[in-house]
């Protein structure tokens, strides 16, 4: 049976798979475990039940849970040769997750399913559609019933020697059902005793699935609304007011230029659409370069590049500068693409970068908290950004950031930041006005 060390990175999957699996558009492979079944090892269904009631609760990985459960179904003589699990989640871009285990290739995959698959023929003609949408139990004998089944999957399973396919709901979550499928090559399909045992074990397995679904939803919501670092800390229990820690980071503060004029000329929906387009460019660039977006405030965005996340402070500073340069370039490309749209207003930004120590933690009232960064470094980054417009620059940075970057920048002299008495030397990206 596989251990956690059998997980592979995406780069390894392509080179190591003798027969890589194919997934439909909108489906993304996010995890993989390989397993080997020992034919000499036999356990009882009671052993599986005891595992579900005991050690299975210690399994933190849904991928490991599915692989171990399915493998034990084989070892206890239930002759399950293919198992899939599909669950829904709350995520702005993801419909749900699925796990696919098969003795054909000795692989258990975790995949992410996009919203677009809801409208595909492949999904609507799959028996899983009836389970997820309506909570039905579907049992199909193969190959006799293949001609009556509209799913291409049934033909593929029949050709691979499977004799029965079963799909059934595990539990309801909102309007959709979680679903599990089982397939066997046993002549005649699952016998009544096997089916009864499978149903008993699946009832317990469903409780573990619910636990992992709840954890996944909590992680998705936290990461989506709080950002990577803050979301992970909140999920792990860092939720007390005032709890947190000091970190050194390159702080990113940005604002949209002429936002007030844009909002006066357009209705609220168009303003929201413009902000979504604008933030998508900036946030995607920050995340792509290893930064963490903390919050959006009106037309402003606050992000950090923690030094601890990079091999050196120099790399953190260069990552922030490269993210800023890419964001400006991509914003220009977006304006060029949308120039012909009648209601399009060109989007411009100002970005300020500063390096310093900030407090990263929970701030707020007893019943309403925010996980954010505070400190002089945040204020300075905001003040640096505030000089972008009068200095006619798109990206400005303070001396600590510029010293780490070392090249591709130009000095703009000493300038007094708003609310501060001591002048600061400011720098711009070369050719970045």
Confidence band, pLDDT 50/70/90 cuts, at residue 253: very high
Asked if residue 197 has pLDDT above 90, the reply is: yes
Confidence band, pLDDT 50/70/90 cuts, at residue 176: low
Same domain, 323 and 396: yes
> What pLDDT is stored for residue 119 in this prediction?
61
Same domain, 110 and 77: yes
Confidence band, pLDDT 50/70/90 cuts, at residue 121: low
235 assigned to some structural domain: no
Cα gap 197→290, rounded to integer Å: 48
What is the per-residue pLDDT across 355-408, written as a single tens digit (0 to 9) for each?
999 887 766 676 666 667 788 899 999 999 999 999 999 999 999 999 999 888
Cα gap 71→79, rounded to integer Å: 10
Cα gap 142→124, rounded to integer Å: 20
Mean pLDDT of 410-421: 86
- How buried is 218 (Cβ within 10 angstroms: 0-12 exposed, 13-18 middle, 19+ buried)? middle
Which 8-state DSSP code applies to residue 246?
E
Cα gap 347→405, rounded to integer Å: 27
Q: What b/e sequence results for 269-293 when a residue is b if at least 16 CB atoms lie within 10 Å of its CB, and e otherwise?
A: eebeebbeebbebbbebbeebbbbb
Cα gap 59→66, rounded to integer Å: 10
- How buried is 251 (Cβ within 10 angstroms: 0-12 exposed, 13-18 middle, 19+ buried)? buried
β-bridge mates for residue 365, sequence order: 368
> What pLDDT is stored for residue 2 in this prediction?
39
What is the per-residue pLDDT across 309-341, written as a single tens digit (0 to 9) for each?
999 999 999 999 999 999 999 999 988 888 777
50 assigned to some structural domain: yes
What's the total number of domains in the chain? 2
231 assigned to some structural domain: no
Among candidate residues 179, 195, 225, the one where a domain is terminated: 225
- Over pLDDT 90: what percentage of the chain? 43
Among candidate residues 225, 248, 265, the one where a domain is terminated: 225
What values do phi and psi take at 419, rounded to 5? Answer: 80, 5
The CATH number assigned to the domain holding 51 equals: 3.30.450.40
Question: Greater confidence, 119 or 301?
Answer: 301
Mean pLDDT of 150-170: 87
289 assigned to some structural domain: yes
Among the listed residues 249, 256, 346, 351, the one whose alpha carbon sits nearest the alpha carbon of residue 292: 249
β-bridge mates for residue 96, sequence order: 88, 113
The CATH number assigned to the domain holding 303 equals: 3.30.70.1230
Same domain, 171 and 303: no
With beta carbons less than 8 A apart as the criterion, state whether 347 and 277 touch. yes
Cα gap 262→256, rounded to integer Å: 10
Asked if residue 15 has pLDDT above 60, the reply is: no
Among candidate residues 196, 225, 254, the one where a domain is terminated: 225
pTM: 0.60
pLDDT mean across residues, the chain: 82
Same domain, 307 and 367: yes
What values do phi and psi take at 78, rounded to 5? Answer: -90, -5
Mean pLDDT of 55-67: 92
> What pLDDT is stored for residue 126 in this prediction?
76
186 assigned to some structural domain: yes
What is the per-residue pLDDT across 257-303, written as a single tens digit (0 to 9) for each?
877 767 666 677 778 888 888 999 999 999 999 998 988 888 899 99
What is the H or E stretch that residue 253 is in?
A: strand 244-256
Half-sphere exposure for 244 (CA within 13 Å, toward CB): 22
Question: Greater confidence, 145 or 335?
Answer: 335
> What pLDDT is stored for residue 421 in this prediction?
76
Among the listed residues 230, 222, 228, the one whose alpha carbon sits nearest the alpha carbon of residue 358: 230
From the centroid of its chain, how far is CA 178? 20
Q: What b/e sequence results for 123-133 when a residue is b if at least 16 CB atoms lie within 10 Å of its CB, and e otherwise?
A: beebbbbbbbe
Same domain, 142 and 25: yes
Same domain, 211 and 282: no
With beta carbons less than 8 A apart as the criterion, state whether 92 and 239 touch. no
Domain of residue 251, residue span? 240-429
Same domain, 262 and 198: no
Same domain, 162 and 186: yes
Asked if residue 123 has pLDDT above 50, the reply is: yes
Asked if residue 5 has pLDDT above 60, the reply is: no
From the centroid of its chain, how far is CA 321? 25
Same domain, 56 and 145: yes
Same domain, 221 and 251: no
232 assigned to some structural domain: no
- Over pLDDT 70: what percentage of the chain? 77
DSSP secondary structure string, 70-119? HHHHHHTT----EEEEEEE---SSEEEEEEEEETTTTEEEEEEEEGGGGG
83 assigned to some structural domain: yes
What is the per-residue pLDDT across 19-46, written as a single tens digit (0 to 9) for each?
468 777 778 888 999 999 887 788 999 9
Confidence band, pLDDT 50/70/90 cuts, at residue 89: low
Same domain, 181 and 269: no
Among the listed residues 130, 210, 234, 157, the one whose alpha carbon sits nearest the alpha carbon of residue 202: 210
234 assigned to some structural domain: no
- Residues across the chain: 433
Same domain, 174 and 292: no
């Amino acid at each position: 049976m596989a251990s956690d060390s059998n997980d592979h990175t995406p780069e390894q999957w392509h080179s190591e798979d003798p027969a890589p699996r194919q997934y439909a558009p909108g489906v993304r492979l996010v995890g993989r475990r390989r397993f080997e079944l020992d034919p000499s090892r036999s356990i009882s269904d009671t052993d599986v039940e005891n595992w579900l009631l005991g050690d299975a609760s210690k399994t933190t990985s849904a991928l490991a849970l599915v692989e171990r459960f399915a493998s034990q179904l084989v070892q206890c003589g239930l002759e399950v040769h293919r198992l899939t699990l599909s669950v829904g989640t709350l995520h702005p871009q993801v419909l749900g997750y699925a796990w696919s285990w098969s003795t054909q290739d000795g692989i258990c995959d975790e995949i992410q399913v996009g919203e677009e698959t809801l409208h595909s023929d492949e999904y609507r003609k799959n028996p899983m559609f009836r389970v997820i949408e309506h909570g039905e139990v579907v049992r199909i004998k193969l190959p006799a019933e293949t001609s009556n089944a509209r799913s291409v999957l049934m033909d593929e399973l029949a050709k691979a020697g499977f004799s029965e396919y079963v799909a059934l709901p595990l539990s309801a979550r909102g309007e959709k059902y979680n679903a599990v499928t089982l397939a066997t090559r046993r002549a005649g399909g699952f016998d009544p005793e096997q089916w009864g045992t499978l149903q008993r074990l699946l009832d317990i397995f469903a409780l573990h699935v619910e636990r992992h679904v709840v954890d996944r939803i909590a992680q998705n919501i936290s990461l989506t609304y709080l950002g990577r670092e803050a979301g992970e800390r909140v999920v792990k229990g860092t939720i007390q007011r005032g709890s947190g820690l000091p970190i050194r980071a390159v702080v990113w503060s940005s604002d949209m230029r002429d936002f007030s004029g844009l909002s006066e000329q357009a209705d609220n929906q168009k303003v929201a659409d413009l902000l979504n387009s604008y933030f998508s460019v900036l946030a995607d660039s920050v995340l792509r370069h290893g930064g963490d977006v903390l919050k959006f405030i009106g037309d402003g965005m606050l992000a950090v590049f923690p030094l601890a996340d990079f091999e050196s402070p120099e790399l953190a500073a260069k990552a922030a500068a490269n993210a800023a340069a890419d964001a400006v370039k991509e914003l220009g490309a977006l304006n060029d693409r949308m120039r012909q749209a009648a209601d399009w207003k060109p989007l411009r930004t100002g970005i300020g970068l500063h390096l310093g120590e900030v407090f990263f933690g929970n701030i707020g009232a007893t019943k309403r908290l925010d996980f954010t960064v505070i400190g002089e470094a945040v204020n300075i980054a905001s003040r640096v950004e505030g000089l972008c417009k009068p200095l006619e620059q798109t990206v400005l940075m303070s001396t600590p950031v510029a010293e780490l970057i070392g090249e591709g920048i130009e000095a703009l002299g000493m300038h007094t930041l708003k609310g501060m008495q001591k002048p600061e030397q400011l720098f711009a990206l070369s050719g970045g006005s």
